[in-house]
Amino acid sequence: MKIAVTYENGQVFQHFGHTEQFKVYDVADGKIVSAAVIGSDGSGHEALAGLLRDRRIDVLICGGIGGGAQAALAEQGIELCAGASGDADAAVEAYLRGELVNTGANCDHHHGEDHDCHGCPGGCHQQLQGKNAGKRVRVHYRGTFNDGTQFDSSYDRGEPLEFICGAGQMIRGFDAAVADLDVGQAVDVHLPPAEAYGEIDPSAIFTVALVQLPGAEALEAGQRVYLQNQFGQPFPVTVKAKTDQVITFDANHEMAGK
């Protein structure tokens, strides 16, 4: 098993997308057998997730991390333990003892201009309870909107979805629905936006002058594109509207409010 920790001067670095180093630990029989510090070789969640994949990392321990980064890690099958702080070696030891849990500490992009890392007050990412929490599970599912229209299905892909239950790889409501299921059990679950991709945030809709975005004049309403924030990190947006002078983007998740 290999565990990577966002790293700076012996501590867990708190901003995944900005980390310049990882400390990588080789673990056997529940104990650390070796460790080495490596450079991040780039920035942005997709580049970092790819680096961890290439290094065959099984678990990432970090401080703050955004939704896009969590999705990128999940695609690579990397277990996430976010919200850690303090001594990096101690954090790994705590994880191996089962004492370190994923808090879902989050990093949000606002208008493509600012970066704010924070925990979630009010327990929006409480530790998941259930017999499957922390276990690798394989689940077949079919997702529909309230009107019955299907938007996704593992059956259509011909293989179940595999993930670590409660590790922050899935939306909260999906994790909770699986937490106590038995093998072979099927359930119908209705998830409100708060348990899925969140409500629509009006502040995530913003307008930019076309002259500030060379090439944006070719974009059309409805297109899904990537912008960069001031740190050079990419984040997805949807073109909401465009005039001869300005273009309006929506940085809400495509499934927000649904």
Residue of 151, 155, 226, 231 with catalytic role: 151
Q: How many other β-carbons are positioned within 10 Å of the β-carbon of residue 100?
A: 18
Q: 151 catalytic, yes or no? A: yes
Residue of 54, 152, 226, 231 with catalytic role: 152
Residue of 141, 180, 200, 201 with catalytic role: 141
What ranges make up the beta strands (E) of 57-180? 59-61, 79-81, 106-110, 114-118, 136-139, 142-144, 150-153, 161-164
Q: 206 catalytic, yes or no? A: yes
Say which DSSP state 181 is in.
Answer: P
Q: 95 catalytic, yes or no? A: no
Residue of 16, 95, 174, 197 with catalytic role: 197
CA 17 to CA 42: how far, in whole Å? Answer: 9
Residue of 25, 95, 174, 206 with catalytic role: 206
Q: Which two tokens stand for residue 81?
A: 């333990």
Do the beta carbons of residue 69 and residue 63 sit within 8 Å? no
Q: 155 catalytic, yes or no? A: no
Do the beta carbons of residue 66 and residue 74 sit within 8 Å? no
Residue of 32, 58, 108, 171 with catalytic role: 171
Q: 226 catalytic, yes or no? A: no
Torsion angle of the four alpha carbons 103, 7, 55, 128, in this order, in degrees rounded to the nearest 10: -10
Q: Which two tokens stand for residue 96?
A: 């191996």
| Residue 152: strand pairing partners | 143
Distances in whole angstroms, Cα of residue 59 to Cα of each of 63, 187, 204: 13, 30, 31
Which residues are marked as active site?
141, 151-152, 171, 197, 206
